[in-house]
Structure 1
Amino acid sequence: MDAIVLGGGLMGTASAFFLARRGIRVTLIERGRIGAGATVASFGNIRRSGRHLAQLPLAARSLAIWNQAETLLGRDVEFRPTGHLRLIFDIDSLNDMRAYAEAARAQGLSLEELAPAELRTRFPGLGPDAIAASFSPRDGSANPRLISPAFADAAARAGASVVEEAPVSDIRTTNAGFEVDTAKGTFRAATLLNCAGAWGRAVAARFGEDVPLETWGPQMAVTEPLPHRIAPVVGVWSRAHGPYLRQVERGNVVFGGAVDRVRVDAEPGFASPDPARLPAQVAAVLKLVPALANVAVIRQWSGCEGYVADALPVMGASGTTPGLFHAFGFCGHGFQLGPGVGAAMAELIATGQCETPLEDFAITRFAA
């Protein structure tokens, strides 16, 4: 069997790696540079708490791979299972957390509920006004700049062909499968996997499958380096788009959330941050860590992410075209899922079935 994977972000590179490990001849095609799209704009959060319950089996599969990433890929991608702390500031959010924790327990996710005194003892200086928190000790973070190149290099060592800076101009079905015309030539394979991220909708539409997907860019920023004091990833239980942050080992604090995302056009395919929104974002972050009040913000950035209308990704086989598969539209929270997505899609393509339930993510849910 041979396969073409479209898209060189985390989903595409992980899929290429796991397909190659299964002995499938793989060509990975990326319109720009490997990992330079949504992946590199990511916060780097490896979070299970708060996910749609249907995603938790996939998240569990992915977490197991994150724990093996350095061995699998032959390099450190800075995965650190430092835990994920979510602060709670009101009773409604506390009730939401408790209901979610009860439902998630059946899917193997156990959240610790921290009362104010325990929160102050274990995580001093974080959320002084919080009335409670949840803590997921096995979650954490990794470096978005390292992970896609690491998977791509490992895929190449396993036999995959990696083609960068190759925008796609046409895709055709043939008696033997698919032909993909790119700036680097025409490629052919029996199987096509659409991991094109924000451009995944356009690829699916070529085969009569429309997905209600919009493209938005996150508003991200990072501070100057500081003494390392914040071990876990920190977020908020909130029905609004709350702030989140983490401190990297060098000492910089990366943060995002709390303000509206930026609209992205398909070309050039990435958003620019809006400096006018930074004060509101900083104010929200200071509620989590007041000690950051006099720290310098040294850089802002954005990117391009695909958001599906029902906030669930598109994963699985095409409903119209044999040999076509999709894995895109992860709605800004795909970083944790990426390795699991690659393993699941490789299993599905190679065997025709998948041990991880994917039915809720089928593209056929939009067929009507």
Structure 2
Amino acid sequence: MSPPVDPVHSSETLPAKVDVVVIGGGIIGVSSAWFLARRGFSVALCEKGVIGGEQSSRNWGYCRQQGRDPKELPLILESMRIWRGLDKEIEGDTGFRQAGVAYVAKDEAQLAQYERWAEIAKEYQLDTRVLSRDELKAHIPGYESDYPGGLWTASDGRAEPSKAAPAIATAAQRQGVSVLTGCAVRGLETAAGHVSAVVTERGRIACDAVLLAGGAWSSLFLKRHGIAFPQLSVKSSVMRTTAGPEVLAGGLSTPEFSIRRREDGKYSLSRGFDSTFYIVPDAIRWMGKFWESFQAEKDTIKLRLDGRFFQELFRGSNWSLDRESPFEKVRVLDPAADRGILDAGLADFKKRFPVLKDLGVEEYWAGMIDATPDAVPCIAPMDKLPGLFLASGFSGHGFGIGPGAGRLAADMVTGHASCVDPSPFRYGRFFDGTSLAPAEV
């Protein structure tokens, strides 16, 4: 079952022409539309399902700087600057609070990784610090643990995934954006080799540029237009507990569980970094590029082979624009949660915090994380098809980095000076021999 998401009412009229069409109503898409509209561009945002219906409402709710690939640090710093003033800017409620995030090291080797990352943090004037075993216990009262220490960044934050994307989308509507839900984009039209329109299930929208922020669907959409994008999806499961005492105001990630206390006093909980990967044809296609990533995560990923392999094998990628597309057949990716994994995480959570022994479960859900080989997003123009831009592959980091990524994408689409150096997010890195090994932390 999917978690509840604040509703956004669809705009009634399909515009005949706009400056920019944004495909995808997740945190990246709505943030991009918001920034584009504020700069005076006419925008239509097309979402096949509901705003925030997929991974943007199914994540942990962390807005974190710590533990980032150094290539992402300038962008998350910009994103945190935006988060801190976002509710006032949009006149809405994203649930953002600057409450900190703590990581617990499973052993001395991982603690040494955290120490190395803390040195990188100093270069960016972050307030990250390494906690010893005793400091960790003092920092999180009531945490019964013998782990060797951890990492803490007080300036990190949290927000409510069920609220954030809808709140930004609603603000974008007030800025004049046509927010079209239940409106899948089937494909693109071109004129003289440049994007000239999108064809939706409800009709055609002429435009000068298109930003694809389609999450786990981006690779399939690009494939129809002859563009290869090495992207795979990983399933992550989450539960919502009943309300319980606060053990930490911000986020806490340990080898056994990851939690965030919600505004309603309940907890969102996942089983650490455990996830499930379904073997599909694209996994075979891109195995060479993802090999180092799989090796780094092999202890936390469970491999599965089921009917998805044959569904995707025979799905094809050259559907007609005047017929139902794959995006209409699956409005919202809503995979079944791995309840056994979550129940084990909840049991460990209660064991480590005896004060929470009476917590119950209210809901389970799962989401599909769109991943790249190096776990860094692609935010870049598609040179093969001028006028098309991509913002996808956020690899489980997209919620916190979303507002900054939206601004960077808007910079690219409009030709403004980029808010951060865009080169780490370039498309060409997947094919020019650049190392695609994921960062250590």
How is 1:298-313 mapped onto 2 (pairs within 5 angstroms)?
298-313=362-377
Deviation at 1:209, TM superposition (A): 2.3
Counterpart of 1:243 (choices 257, 273, 297) is 257
1:351 to 405, 415, 424: 415
Counterpart of 1:273 (choices 337, 346, 351) is: 337
**Alignment partners' CA distance in 2, 1:329 and 1:106:** 26
Whether the aligned pair in 2 keeps the contact of 1:207 and 1:320 (CA below 8 Å) is no
Q: Which deviates further from its counterpart, 202-211 or 284-293?
A: 284-293
Contact 2:271 2:342 in 1 (8 A): no
For 2:127, the equivalent position in structure 1 comes to: 110
Which residue, 399, 404, 426 being the options, matches 1:362? Answer: 426
1:97 is aligned, of 114, 120, 126, to: 114
Q: Gaps spanning 5+ residues in structure 1: where?
A: none
SS at the partner of 2:55?
coil
Task: Establish whether residue 159 from structure 1 lines up as the match of residue 145 from structure 2.
Answer: no
Same amino acid, percent of matched pairs: 30
CA distance in 2, matches of 1:249, 1:167: 33
Q: Distance in 1 between matches of 2:267 and 2:103?
A: 17
C-alpha change, 1:127 and 1:350, in structure 2 (3 Å) is farther
Cα deviation code 1:269-314 (max 9, x no counterpart): 3311122333333345456535434421221101222111221111
Deviation (angstroms), 1:178: 2.5
* Secondary structure, counterpart of 1:40 in structure 2: helix
2:245–2:355: 8 Å Cα contact kept in structure 1?
no
Residue 235 of structure 2 corresponds to residue 217 of structure 1: yes
Note the C-alpha offset of 1:345: 1.1
Q: Identify the residue that residue 139 of structure 1 maps to in structure 2.
A: 156
Q: Quick check: 1:101–1:110 contact (8 Å CA) kept in 2?
A: no
| 1:189 and 2:212 aligned | no
Amino acid at match of 1:277: I
Deviation at 1:187, TM superposition (A): 0.9
- In structure 1, what is the Cα distance between the partners aligned to 2:236 and 2:334? 10
Tell me how far apart the structure 2 counterparts of residues 316 and 127 of structure 1 sit (CA, whole Å): 46
Unaligned 5+ residue runs, structure 2? 1-17, 281-307, 309-325, 433-441
Contact kept in structure 1, 2:270 and 2:342, CA below 8 Å: no
TM-score normalised by length of structure 2 = 0.78
Q: Aligned AA for 1:190?
A: D
Moved over 3 A (4+): 262-268, 283-294
Q: Match for residue 332 of structure 1?
A: 396
What letter is aligned with 1:13?
Answer: V
Moved more, 348-357 or 32-41: 348-357
* Counterpart check, 1:3 vs 2:67: no
Structure 2 distance, partners of 1:281, 1:206, is 40
Amino acid at match of 2:276: R
The amino acid of 1:249's aligned partner reads E
Q: Is the 8 A contact 1:262 1:273 kept in 2?
A: no
Give me the whole-angstrom Cα distance separating, in 2, the residues matched to 1:37 and 1:183.
20
- Structure 2 CA distance for partners of 1:209 and 1:177, relative to 1, 3 Å: closer
Distance 1:170 1:184 in 2: 12
Alpha-carbon distance in 1 for matches of 2:406, 2:342: 35
Counterpart of 1:256 in structure 2 is 270
Shift, 1:358, TM fit: 1.9
What's 2:316 paired with? none
Equivalent of residue 125 in structure 1, options 125, 137, 142:
142
State how far apart, in whole Å, the 2-side matches of 1:122 and 1:303 are: 31
Any conservation in 2 of the 1:34–1:152 contact (CA below 8 Å)? yes
Which stretch shifts more, 166-175 or 307-316? 166-175
Greater alpha carbon shift after TM alignment, 26-35 vs 102-111: 102-111
C-alpha distance in structure 1 between counterparts of 2:147 and 2:355, whole Å: 15
Aligned partners of 2:261, 2:218: CA distance in 1, in Å?
32
Distance 1:208 1:353 in 2: 29
Q: Distance in 1 between matches of 2:191 and 2:431?
A: 24
TM-superposed CA distance for 1:363, in Å, is: 1.4
Which region of structure 1 is more displaced relative to structure 2, 6-15 or 351-360?
351-360
- For the residue of structure 1 that corresponds to 2:176, the secondary structure is coil
Whole-angstrom distance in 2 between the partners of 1:349 and 1:75: 26
Q: CA 1:287–1:316 in structure 2 vs 1: closer, same or farther (change >3 Å)?
A: farther
Letter in 2 for 1:90: D
Equivalent residue of 1:304, what SS? strand
CA displacement at 1:366 relative to structure 2:
2.5
Instruction: Tell me which amino acid in the other structure corresponds to 1:169.
Output: R
For residues 109 and 84 of structure 2, the distance between their equivalents in structure 1, rounded to whole angstroms, comes to: 34
Per the alignment, do residues 38 and 87 of structure 1 end up closer, same or farther by CA in structure 2, a change over 3 Å counting?
same
- Alignment partners' CA distance in 2, 1:11 and 1:305: 14
